[in-house]
Amino acid sequence: MSDPDDLPGRLRAALAPHGLAPRGVSVFGDDGQGPDLGNGLRAAAVVLVGHGGGTLWPVFRAWQERQADHGGSDPLDAWSKAVVAPIAAAFSATAFFPSDPPYQPFQQWAMRAEGLRASPLGILIDPVYGLWHGFRAALAFATWEGAASAWPQQLHPCENCIEKPCLTRCPADAVSIDRFDVPACRSHLSTDAGAAGCMQSGCVARLACPVGAGYAYGHDQARFHMRALTRLI
Ligand code: B12
């Protein structure tokens, strides 16, 4: 990899037209913890690619409209690959995607990369975007010369949250500090109340968090993710 100092800027410029951004770097060095690059080598570092708020949504929906098959059965994953694979090639990186098995530890990488920590819901909380952010890919590099300190580290907002409304608002009682009860969540989503509530406007527990509330996904994006939640795993 060349010119590591300018990598954040160059990646930011390549990703911005797609509503995506580099989300920090997890540096493994030669500790063998990096993902397998498929050529006998393990990555020295991964740069996470994602979004805060709904920046990707209009770009993704416009792309989907242009596809004869509307993006297929997993259109957001298909779009992520269509957009990120050429960028990975241009940066001589190997792209990993969060929904591709075997699942790569995106959340562990994000914790290392950005200093993010888990909210009581299990998803990582960002001090600016709250629970309204996600990862669409990771770019793995075989060698890494840049310093991780060139990338931002974050504070953990849940530490100062006494009330923790995310734990008390779920209409299905599916969330607790130590587990997310997926069957309970899904069974509520299949009721009329679930269809009129979480399925329409998004997960009520997630919406209860005051951090980054202004970045909450719009209804179309929220509905898309809720529908995905009813059919995944
Ligand atoms: C499988 C999966 C699920 C399963 C969870 C099954 C289970 N009980 O583990 C289901 C389908 C239920 C799910 C739901 C959701 N998920 Co999910 N999921 C994944 C996926 C594809 C793999 C997780 C995994 O096994 N990783 C492999 C291990 C080795 O990686 P890891 O980093 O060590 O794993 C951590 C997680 O597994 C976490 N964890 C353990 N149990 C659970 C349970 C839940 C609900 C979550 C979110 C995390 C979590 O703890 C591990 C410790 O760090 C990841 C993507 C990825 N590759 O990680 C997304 C991912 C974790 N999910 C994500 C999201 C956003 C959600 C939803 C909010 C999406 C939605 N449609 O609403 C919901 C959560 C709803 C809620 N109220 O909390 C995001 C989290 C982003 C963030 N801010 O942290 C990820 C990273 C996907 C992405 N593209 O960004 N998810």
Residue-wise pLDDT tens digits, 151-195: 555 678 998 899 999 999 999 999 998 889 999 999 999 999 999
Q: What are phi and psi of 75, to 5 degrees?
A: -65, -35
Mean pLDDT of 113-134: 93
Q: Tens of pLDDT along 27-78?
A: 997 778 899 999 889 999 999 999 999 999 999 999 999 999 999 999 999 9
| Cα dihedral: 154, 100, 178, 175 (round 10) | 100
Per-residue confidence (pLDDT) for residue 185, from 0 to 100: 95
Q: What are phi and psi of 83, to 5 degrees?
A: -85, -45
User: How far does residue 123's CA lie from ligand 1's centre (Å)?
Assistant: 7
Task: Give the residues across from 137 on adjacent strands.
Answer: 49
Ligand 1 probe mutation, 107, 133, 181, most atoms within 8 A of CB: 107
Return the ligand 1 atom nearest residue 121 CA.
78
| CB 103 less than 6 A from any atom of ligand 1 | yes
User: How far does residue 99's CA lie from ligand 1's centre (Å)?
Assistant: 10
Given a cut of 70, is residue 150 above it in pLDDT? no
Which residue pairs from 228-231 have beta carbons closer than 8 angstroms and sit at least 24 positions apart in sequence? 228/76, 229/185, 229/186, 229/189, 229/203, 230/186, 230/189, 230/190, 230/199
**Do 45 and 190 form a contact (C-beta atoms < 8 A)?**
no
Confidence band for 2, pLDDT divided at 50, 70 and 90: very low
Given a cut of 70, is residue 80 above it in pLDDT? yes
Round the average pLDDT of the chain to a whole number and report it: 91
Per-residue confidence (pLDDT) for residue 152, from 0 to 100: 57
Per-residue confidence (pLDDT) for residue 153, from 0 to 100: 59
Helix (H) or strand (E) holding 50: strand 45-52
Q: What are phi and psi of 140, to 5 degrees?
A: -100, 130
Please give the structure tokens belonging to residue 184: 């309970």
Per-residue confidence (pLDDT) for residue 5, from 0 to 100: 64
The reply to whether omega before 102 is within 30° of 0 (cis) is yes
Mean pLDDT of 195-219: 95
Tokens 């994602």 locate to 50
Q: Tens of pLDDT along 102-118?
A: 999 999 999 988 888 99
Quick one: CA dihedral 77, 36, 119, 126, positive or negative? negative
Return the ligand 1 atom nearest residue 136 CA.
89
Residue ID of nearest Cα to ligand 1 atom 49? 122
Tokens 């779920």 locate to 170
Provide the residue ranges of all domains of the chain, joining segments of one domain with +: 7-141, 161-232
Q: Tens of pLDDT along 81-95?
A: 999 999 999 999 999
**Do 217 and 132 form a contact (C-beta atoms < 8 A)?**
yes
| CB 100 less than 6 A from any atom of ligand 1 | no
Given a cut of 90, is residue 13 above it in pLDDT? yes
Number of helical (H) and strand (E) elements in the chain, helices listed first: 9, 8
